[in-house]
Amino acid sequence: MTTQQRIERHDALYKLLTNLPGADFGVAPECSETDPEIFFPEPGRVDLARRAIAICERCPVLEACREKAVLHGELGIWGGTTETQREKIRAARRRIQRGQEAA
């Protein structure tokens, strides 16, 4: 990974932390003191993904973070979910929406 890619990933995480609607920033998000690289594991690094998810699970802004990532198609681990998990959430929401529109 290049330095520029690391900067872009860190910037994305910073933007999330400073722009989460409804987040209680009276306490710091768990990831604020963590190397952002852990949230963008290389393919096959299940160990790093699990560590990132464990950090997210203790976070006071978990739900807002997850929702932001679902809505905006973020890369990496956000809100305790992987990209694949968030795609499944989006697909389920689309199915529900189609069902409501058909009714």
CB 68 within 8 A of CB 20: yes
Q: Please give the pLDDT value at position 76.
A: 94
Q: Could you tell me the pTM of the whole model?
A: 0.74
Domain boundaries, the chain: 3-102
Q: Which residues of the chain have pLDDT under 70?
A: 1-27, 103
Alpha carbon separation from 7 to 2, 3, 34, 35, 45 (Å, rounded): 9, 6, 14, 12, 20
